[in-house]
């Protein structure tokens, strides 16, 4: 599918490699009546760059501030403080009427699809083209092209209620792509879908990114979604980005407890509290959990330990491969003379992240 010709007005062209730049951005909601005003800091001092052509995941638990962060990008919520440039355009401090030029380059899809129930599939996809003033024959050709791209040509005359969840979301994607945005915001776009349908929608999003070169910001609370398609990811907690980096790095070396919990929700290589209890009952030696990955020579340390009489038992763990790198974690029981075991623990701590399971 080709990009539709649209006036560009210079946005998204001279912004270098960075499509969205947050600099110390905060968003505070003030709620309640005058006497009992309450402030909620939904986004708290976020600095972040989203690069051209990437799929950028934003993950966090409910209330972390993900939706608000993304709604700032297209000005659905105004920024309280800081600087936010989108396609080289400063969004912070703009009036609603000034945002139209930047919004025309941004598409959005939603968890609940937000389709017009009274319009057909084709009518839904056509809607933004009508609003943008496209003539009828061009609209028709564009809608056909978009429906083909998302694999729904046969469904053009159906109404949303006749479609499955995955098909509805594909209509949402086609509609969001209609006017050839440079940036697609996907807010929990697969959260209402079963795992199989989720994969189907993620594959379409991946094609949107790879084949059309559209940058995607993907909000989710599922690390599986991040693992499937995100190039980089930001982990949010209490309005702050507590960690961000390439998806591979976050999986291989999560630095915060929140990131670690998200990673272990997918990999299951780290024992949870109940499993730790069971391990503790079954093993009497020192129990350590170590992160493993390419280039981390855990075997070498254990062999050295063995030469001093330290024995190890693998009690728990798992190793996965993502984008050709292996990562995961192993839980060892170490037994032997105290000082020698301590040397092994020290050496493992030096080469990787090690957590000890309390005796
Ligand atoms: N319009 C609003 N008015 C007042 N408070 C709001 C508003 N929108 C969001 N908040 C608050 O801001 C915080 C962040 O909410 P946000 O919806 O951005 O989080 P989230 O990570 O997207 O959560 P979820 O996954 O549940 O949607 C929450 O405490 C929320 O209650």
Model ipTM value: 0.96
Sequence-ordered list of residues with C-beta below 8 angstroms from that of 112, at least 6 positions apart, any chain: 192
Distance of CA 51 from the midpoint of ligand 1 (Å): 25
pLDDT digits (tens, 9 = 90+) for 291-336: 888 888 999 999 999 999 999 999 999 888 887 788 888 999 999 9
Pairing relationship of beta strands 232-237 and 55-60 according to DSSP bridges: parallel
Q: Where are the domains positioned within the chain?
A: 18-105+181-264, 270-357
pLDDT of 10 reads 66
pLDDT digits (tens, 9 = 90+) for 229-248: 999 999 999 999 999 999 99
In angstroms, the Cα distances linking 102 to 21, 27, 89, 269, 322 are: 14, 20, 7, 43, 35
Question: Which residue, by CA, sits nearest to atom 8 of ligand 1?
Answer: 68
Secondary structure element (H or E) that encloses residue 332, with its range: strand 325-335
Angle between helices 121-131 and 136-149 (to 10 degrees): 130
**18-105+181-264 — its CATH code?**
3.40.50.300
Q: Are 275 and 323 in contact (CB under 8 A)?
A: no
Instruction: Please state the atom number of ligand 1 nearest to the C-alpha of residue 60.
Output: 21
Is any ligand 1 atom within 6 A of the Cβ of residue 111?
Answer: no
Q: Is the model's pLDDT at 4 over the cut of 70?
A: no
**270-357 — its CATH code?**
3.30.70.260
pLDDT digits (tens, 9 = 90+) for 103-153: 989 999 988 889 999 999 999 999 999 999 999 999 999 999 999 999 999
Question: Which residue, by CA, sits nearest to atom 30 of ligand 1?
Answer: 63
pLDDT digits (tens, 9 = 90+) for 46-61: 999 999 999 999 999 9
- Lowest model confidence (mean pLDDT) among 32-41, 148-157, 264-273, 282-291: 264-273
Is any ligand 1 atom within 6 A of the Cβ of residue 27?
Answer: no
pLDDT of 14 reads 60
Q: Are 150 and 109 in contact (CB under 8 A)?
A: no
Question: Which residue, by CA, sits nearest to atom 10 of ligand 1?
Answer: 42
**DSSP label of 4:** P
Is any ligand 1 atom within 6 A of the Cβ of residue 78?
Answer: no
Instruction: Please state the atom number of ligand 1 nearest to the C-alpha of residue 67.
Output: 22
């Amino acid at each position: 599918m080709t990009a539709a010709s649209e006036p560009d007005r210079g946005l998204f062209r001279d912004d270098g490699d960075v499509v969205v730049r947050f600099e110390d951005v905060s968003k505070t909601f003030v709620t309640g009546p005058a006497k009992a005003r309450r402030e909620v800091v939904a986004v708290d001092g976020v600095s972040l760059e989203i690069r051209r052509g990437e799929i950028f995941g934003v993950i966090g638990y409910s209330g972390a501030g993900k939706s608000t962060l993304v709604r700032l990008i297209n000005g659905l919520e105004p920024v309280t403080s800081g600087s936010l440039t989108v396609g080289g355009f400063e969004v912070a401090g703009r009036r609603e009427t000034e945002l139209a030029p930047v919004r025309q380059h941004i598409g959005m899809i939603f968890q609940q699809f937000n389709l017009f129930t009274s319009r057909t599939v084709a009518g839904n996809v056509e809607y933004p083209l009508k609003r943008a003033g496209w003539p009828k024959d061009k609209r028709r050709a564009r809608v056909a092209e978009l429906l083909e791209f998302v694999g729904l040509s046969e469904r053009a005359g159906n109404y949303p209620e006749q479609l499955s969840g995955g098909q509805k979301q594909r209509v949402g994607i086609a509609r969001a792509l209609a006017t050839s945005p440079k940036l697609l915001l996907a807010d929990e776009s697969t959260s209402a879908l079963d795992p199989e349908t989720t994969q189907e929608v993620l594959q379409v999003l991946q094609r949107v990114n790879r084949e059309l070169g559209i940058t995607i910001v993907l909000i989710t609370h599922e690390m599986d979604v991040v693992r499937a398609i995100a190039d980089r990811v930001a982990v949010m907690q209490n309005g702050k980005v507590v960690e961000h980096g390439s998806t591979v790095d976050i999986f291989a070396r999560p630095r915060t407890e929140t990131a670690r919990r998200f990673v272990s929700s997918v990999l299951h290589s780290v024992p949870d509290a109940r499993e730790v209890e069971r391990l503790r009952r079954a093993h009497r030696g020192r129990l350590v959990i170590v992160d493993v990955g390419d280039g981390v020579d855990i075997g070498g340390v254990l062999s050295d330990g063995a030469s001093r009489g330290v024995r190890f038992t693998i009690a728990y763990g798992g190793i996965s491969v993502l984008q050709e790198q292996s990562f995961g974690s192993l839980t060892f029981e170490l037994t032997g003379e105290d000082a020698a075991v301590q040397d092994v623990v020290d050496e493992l701590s030096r080469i990787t992240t090690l957590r000890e399971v309390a005796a």
